[in-house]
Structure 1
Amino acid sequence: MRKLFLLLGVLLGIAAFRSMDGEQAWIRINYLGYRPEGTKVAVWAGKTDEPPGAVFQVVDAATGKVVYENAVGKDFGTYGPFIQTYRLDFSGVRKPGSYYLKTGTLQSPEFRIADNVYDGTADFCLRYMRQQRSGYNPFLKDSCHTHDGYTMYGPMPDSTHIDVSGGWHDASDYLQYVPTSANATYHLLAAFRDFPNVFGDKHQANGLEGANRQADVLDEARWGLDWLLKMHPKDDWMFNQLADDRDHSGLRIPKLDSAYGKGYERPVYFASGKPQGLFKHKNRTTGVASTAGKFSSAFALGFQVLRRRDPDYADNLWQRAQTAYTLGLQKPGVCQTAPGRSPYFYEEDNYVDDMELAAVEMYNAARVQGYKAADYLNSAYAYGLIEPETPWFGADTARHYQWYPFINIGHFEVAKRLPDARRQHIIGFYRSGIEKIWQKAQRNAFYRGIPFIWCSNNLTTSFAIQCYWYRKLTGDNRYLALEQACFDWLFGCNPWGTSFVYGLPAGADTPADPHSAFTYLKKYPIDGGLVDGPVYGKIYKSLIGIELKEPDEYAEFQSDLVVYHDDFGDYSTNEPTMDGTASLIYLLASKEGETAVTATIAPPAKAKVVKKVVKGKKKASSRKATVRKKSTSRKKPAARASSGKSKKKRRR
């Protein structure tokens, strides 16, 4: 069946996606579409010496009329598998409608321009968060991991039972980490705080269908908070991790997880502040502040959001925000996740960013209660001075989750609260970090300045959010084209011409064979999951246990620079993650919630207009982006979201 789809995709696309002399070229676009007043850039990429011509055209898909022409611009040269690449700027097209781009006989997939192109997308990605729930899982309508768990490294005897059932599975495995869960919870809470009108109410607190007079994003955030409270049950008790990489011993659905030699119980790792690892490999833990700060910021923001909805619950959050913050002060340093039988673990090396965010959210929470809280804000500013820029910015590589979260969230919150020169100081940190990425990005047509390390899509999402926050703090649009390029990359404007979000949008090229037991064993769709993303070729070649299960549909787009495989066997590029998806939910909410404004585009994004409107030409044939089946599920039309898994199509 897969080969049939592949053949059909080739037959449908061969005329549209090959130049007249038979040499290959492609136009990469954002499948979600573009807002009328926003930046709109596609990338022409070719494995041919023949240039695309002096101009490109924007064609109305309904009428076949050319509505806009613009200069192709400069050749950005080689990138990955491509010999030459060009940026096609059509920001001047503002009329809503469906269009495609054309150079000679080469044309792009169709795309939409409309104010509502991003509507419903954040809610769509909440599907994946619900599906990742541990304890009661609303997708499976069944419970799992109800016996968690038994303690290790704590002040109590090892193997003491403690109830920590709940939370989210971290990725396609069933491990659960406080660092990623707390960060995800914070992003969901912040998305509701900043964009409350974006989210709908179609699900109950347990994740099943049915309204409960609370936005679904808050239901999900509270699911995260409930588990975090279990992981910090006492003033001086804090756990960092549930389960370890023994999880990877085989594929199973969650309720059959029994890989730890104690029935269905799993180990719960106490945050001792010292190195841990039950077998050969150990982490390099030096304290608990990285975890404590994440606990505290999530609890403090949860208190602010929920204090009028559920005062008793919010009071508990406020108490735990304070105790977690105190533990971070008492034991500065990083609390890394514990390895099991493999050498891989989350190698977080920074903590002052976590304590900065915790301090400013403690300030925010104290203020809404009428307390004097200047000391918290001063502490947040002081922490911010220690790490001005997130260390991976400008770097070519990093260890796995070495600098996490992937942006300094605290800078945004601190800058919002400071009225004086210190505000500009903090904002300057954001600007200098973005500038490091920009200096690399402007050298290639995709505006890529982000390293292709594990979870490169998570880094891309986080960096796009930082660009957005900088723009909101300053009104400075100089990096708007870079911000949009990061967003476009996630949804199709990349060398492989694929969206990296399962099922979004429907009808587009999106992951179909992710590294997921849900899809591999049961063919369950994992709607809304953001996959890890491309990695450097040298990283891919060095990893243990990767073996592609099927022929590579993207073989012609792989390179020594970077690879991506939509294949179950590639856990490095095609595994969805819960925390990356939560960050994407914030980014999508910002896109939907942002009022359309006229963009001031910094060079070199601004293209020279050759001819704005051309009288109608012979109607060009309209091409579908793929042959993936359309969804029949109810969803806002602009999201064009899929509710099921369809096999691939391709190759364009």
Structure 2
Amino acid sequence: MRYLFLIPVFTLLTVAFRKSDTQTAWVRINWLGYQPTGSKVAVWGSKIDEPLQRFQVIEAKTGRVMYDHQAGKAYGTYGPFRQSYRLDFSAFRKPGTYYLKTGVVRSPEFRIAEDVYEGAADFCLRYMRQQRSGYNPYLKDSCHTHDGYTMYGPMPDSTHVDVSGGWHDASDYLQYSTTSANATYHLLAAYRDFPDVFADKHQANGLEGSNAIADVLDEARWGLDWLLKMHPTDNWLFNQLADDRDHMGMRIPKEDDFYGKGFERPVYFCTGQPQGLFRYKNRTTGVASTAGKFSSAFALGYQLLRPQDPAFANRLQHRAQTAYALGLQKPGACQTAPGRAPYFYEEDNWTDDMELASVELYNVGQARGQLKQDYLNKAIAYAGQEPVTPWIKNDTARHYQWYPFINIGHYELAKQLKAKQRQEIISYYITGIDTIWQKAKNNAFYRAIPFIWCSNNLTVSFAIQCYWYRKLTGDTQYAQLEQACFDWLFGCNPWGTSFVYGLPSWGDTPVDPHSAFTHLKNYPIDGGLVDGPVFGSIYRNLIGITLKDPDEYAEFQSDLVVYHDDYGDYSTNEPTMDGTASLVYLLAAKQAEKNAPRKR
């Protein structure tokens, strides 16, 4: 069943017009709609090289032409299209329901209104709750309650430790500290920056009912509780729960009995050395990438939870410091452990994580004098070691090689600095943004983010980076690039589909994701952000992908990039927990801009 995510009640918009056998052109829009004062751009793409002179905004109810404008610049070939144009109607601001028309081609209907993003961030929290391990409120049942037994630690292998809880990482049931800590931080930051956006309709255990705490904070607390289990003592830090033996078959989450020790699953200790129990090994060089993520999540959790639960907050504050100390002791990147397949999270950077941890410990305010200044100085030094997140400078990367996909520390650090130091940190953001812009401005979708695995996660992160740059500086020169990334996620892409399950309920969204919930039980995975399109060259070389149904987007695939709404495609259509958590932040930011005047 699909659910409406919007709080206001209004008539549902009509679904996209189905193509005819002779259709050669399409208009792609953001299914969620557009805010009156924001950037409003659709993309027209044609299978033949034909010119487009003008387009019109038509009022859906009356059929009246409300806005008529030149189509502007021809952008040429992109993906499946031989010709393309950007249809910019930002100057039209009247609220209402409309569609665009170019000759005989018309777009789906869309709304222009202040509240078009209302409730969207809360909608995506549905997926986070569904991903819970331990007690799962969606299933109203428990799973993985016996986790786990240790590997690689200072204790004897197979020692039991209690690490039940947290979130399953994607459609499999592995759990990673690195993605969980990053997701927790994004949820905490969303509440800190946009507290009025979120509702209180669920209890701490995820079941329906108010508990006087915003649902996003309940979800972040669920993440923090598990991270504390994964860092239970000053010197113990665990990186991963389970491994790719999980992939032997799809199932609804339960107690897994195929890891060799009853219902327990292996939990991998952070050693700072390469790991892998079977044929494949990772290339781990240290602990700091994981430790830094733990520290920053704990430090921000302390700042937000101290008023309501000081005892818990003090635990977070202590663990923020002990995790940070482990990062200092063993600098380097801590990758996830592969099993019987060659795929793992190949994170190679770590100074960005320690930068964020340093500035958040500075923000905690417990340190005084020189110690407090030391945190700030370390943050500045770490920032200089990775001014631009490396994937931005390249057209490809290994899986999760540069993670998180945004340097969060730059934003938090810039807020604490003044004058020349502040401008230096901000320059790191603009360098990255302009690198993308110089390539993106040459195609109608303003697209230059590489189509690697989890390209949607990169898109969300880059949109947030553009947003943070705009907030730090007031500079709006990249506002359309920022909006183009957002629009891409919700339908303004070659396939004309939103990449978020069920969002919006009237739009073209994934219906057949690579998910056991939908595949086995037809359970909706509301709010889940799927991986997104990949380069055709990547898709053709992946192991074990076979589409189970005819490809409804076949005519929009290209040698450049492919996307399939098909259970058989784990590379483009698998939802991810951490990508969804990042999207919660972005959607909260968009909703919070309601009624905010913006320059064009």
TM-score (norm 1): 0.89
Partners of 1:32 and 1:111 within 8 A in 2:
yes
Matched, 1:159 2:158: yes
Q: Which whole-Å deviations, capped at 9, do the CAs of 1:270-328 have from their partners, x for residues lacking one?
A: 00110000001000001100000000000000000000110000000000000000000
Letter matched to residue 434 of structure 1: I
CA distance in 1, matches of 2:125, 2:46: 36
* Corresponding residue of 2:36: 36
Offset at 1:595? 4.4
The residue matched to 2:575 in structure 1 has which SS? coil
Give unmatched runs, 5+ long, in structure 2: 1-14
The residue matched to 1:393 in structure 2 has which SS? helix
* Corresponding residue of 1:509: 508
* Corresponding residue of 1:644: none
* Corresponding residue of 1:498: 497
CA distance in 2, matches of 1:369, 1:231: 29
The residue matched to 1:143 in structure 2 has which SS? strand
* Corresponding residue of 1:206: 205
Letter matched to residue 13 of structure 1: F
Offset at 1:411? 0.1
The residue matched to 1:268 in structure 2 has which SS? strand
The residue matched to 2:392 in structure 1 has which SS? coil
Offset at 1:599? 3.6
Q: Which whole-Å deviations, capped at 9, do the CAs of 1:13-36 have from their partners, x for residues lacking one?
A: 35xx569xx441100000000000
Matched, 1:50 2:50: yes
Offset at 1:374? 1.4
Q: Which whole-Å deviations, capped at 9, do the CAs of 1:538-590 have from their partners, x for residues lacking one?
A: 00000000000100000000000000000000000000000000000000000
* Corresponding residue of 1:433: 432
The residue matched to 2:42 in structure 1 has which SS? strand
* Corresponding residue of 2:11: none
Partners of 1:18 and 1:26 within 8 A in 2:
no
* Corresponding residue of 2:418: 419
CA distance in 2, matches of 1:500, 1:307: 36
TM-score (norm 2): 0.96
CA distance in 2, matches of 1:345, 1:544: 14
Partners of 2:16 and 2:508 within 8 A in 1:
no
Is the deviation greater in 97-106 or in 530-539? 97-106
Offset at 1:62? 1.4
CA distance in 2, matches of 1:399, 1:477: 32
Matched, 1:385 2:384: yes
* Corresponding residue of 1:613: none
Equivalent of residue 17 in structure 2, options 13, 17, 24: 13
CA distance in 1, matches of 2:20, 2:94: 28
CA distance in 2, matches of 1:87, 1:259: 53
- The aligned runs of 1:447-526 (5 Å cut-off) are 447-526=446-525
Letter matched to residue 38 of structure 1: G
Query: What is the CA RMSD across the aligned residues, in angstroms?
Result: 1.5
Identity of aligned residues (%): 75
Moved over 4 A (4+): 367-372
CA distance in 1, matches of 2:521, 2:308: 39
CA distance in 2, matches of 1:577, 1:370: 42
Letter matched to residue 278 of structure 2: F
* Corresponding residue of 1:558: 557
Letter matched to residue 551 of structure 2: D
Letter matched to residue 491 of structure 1: F
CA distance in 1, matches of 2:94, 2:594: 17
CA distance in 2, matches of 1:370, 1:145: 46
TM-aligned CA distance change 1:12 to 1:246, over 3 Å? closer
CA distance in 1, matches of 2:56, 2:202: 44
CA distance in 2, matches of 1:318, 1:34: 41
* Corresponding residue of 2:261: 262
TM-aligned CA distance change 1:513 to 1:371, over 3 Å? farther
Partners of 1:41 and 1:87 within 8 A in 2:
yes
The residue matched to 2:429 in structure 1 has which SS? helix
Offset at 1:264? 1.2
Offset at 1:63? 1.4
The residue matched to 2:464 in structure 1 has which SS? helix
Matched, 1:111 2:110: yes
Partners of 1:18 and 1:106 within 8 A in 2:
no
CA distance in 1, matches of 2:381, 2:368: 24
Letter matched to residue 577 of structure 2: M
CA distance in 2, matches of 1:574, 1:217: 25
* Corresponding residue of 2:4: none
CA distance in 2, matches of 1:581, 1:377: 30
Partners of 1:38 and 1:597 within 8 A in 2:
no
- The aligned runs of 1:397-416 (5 Å cut-off) are 397-416=396-415
Offset at 1:372? 6.1
Offset at 1:420? 2.6
Partners of 1:168 and 1:578 within 8 A in 2:
yes
The residue matched to 2:196 in structure 1 has which SS? coil
Offset at 1:253? 1.2
- The aligned runs of 1:164-563 (5 Å cut-off) are 164-366=163-365, 373-563=372-562
TM-aligned CA distance change 1:313 to 1:12, over 3 Å? closer
* Corresponding residue of 2:8: none
The residue matched to 2:227 in structure 1 has which SS? helix
Offset at 1:367? 5.6
CA distance in 2, matches of 1:531, 1:448: 18
The residue matched to 1:269 in structure 2 has which SS? strand
Offset at 1:259? 2.6
Give unmatched runs, 5+ long, in structure 1: 1-10, 602-652
* Corresponding residue of 2:89: 90
CA distance in 2, matches of 1:91, 1:128: 32
Q: Which whole-Å deviations, capped at 9, do the CAs of 1:138-177 have from their partners, x for residues lacking one?
A: 0000000000000000000000000000000000000000
CA distance in 2, matches of 1:122, 1:426: 29
How many aligned positions are there? 587
Partners of 1:39 and 1:599 within 8 A in 2:
no
* Corresponding residue of 1:592: 591
Q: Which whole-Å deviations, capped at 9, do the CAs of 1:511-535 have from their partners, x for residues lacking one?
A: 0000001110111000000000000
Partners of 1:232 and 1:238 within 8 A in 2:
yes
* Corresponding residue of 1:5: none
Partners of 2:145 and 2:255 within 8 A in 1:
no
TM-aligned CA distance change 1:12 to 1:334, over 3 Å? closer
Partners of 1:273 and 1:285 within 8 A in 2:
yes
Partners of 2:292 and 2:353 within 8 A in 1:
yes
Letter matched to residue 440 of structure 1: K
The residue matched to 1:251 in structure 2 has which SS? coil
Letter matched to residue 42 of structure 2: A
Letter matched to residue 65 of structure 2: V
CA distance in 2, matches of 1:425, 1:18: 54
Offset at 1:404? 0.1
- The aligned runs of 1:565-644 (5 Å cut-off) are 565-601=564-600
CA distance in 2, matches of 1:226, 1:12: 43
Offset at 1:371? 9.5
The residue matched to 2:254 in structure 1 has which SS? helix
The residue matched to 2:415 in structure 1 has which SS? helix
Is the deviation greater in 358-367 or in 323-332? 358-367
CA distance in 1, matches of 2:288, 2:215: 31
TM-aligned CA distance change 1:196 to 1:597, over 3 Å? closer
Partners of 2:44 and 2:84 within 8 A in 1:
yes
The residue matched to 2:333 in structure 1 has which SS? coil
* Corresponding residue of 1:606: none
Partners of 1:478 and 1:600 within 8 A in 2:
no
Offset at 1:70? 1.0
* Corresponding residue of 1:25: 25
Offset at 1:93? 1.1
CA distance in 2, matches of 1:597, 1:86: 28
The residue matched to 2:48 in structure 1 has which SS? coil
Offset at 1:471? 0.1
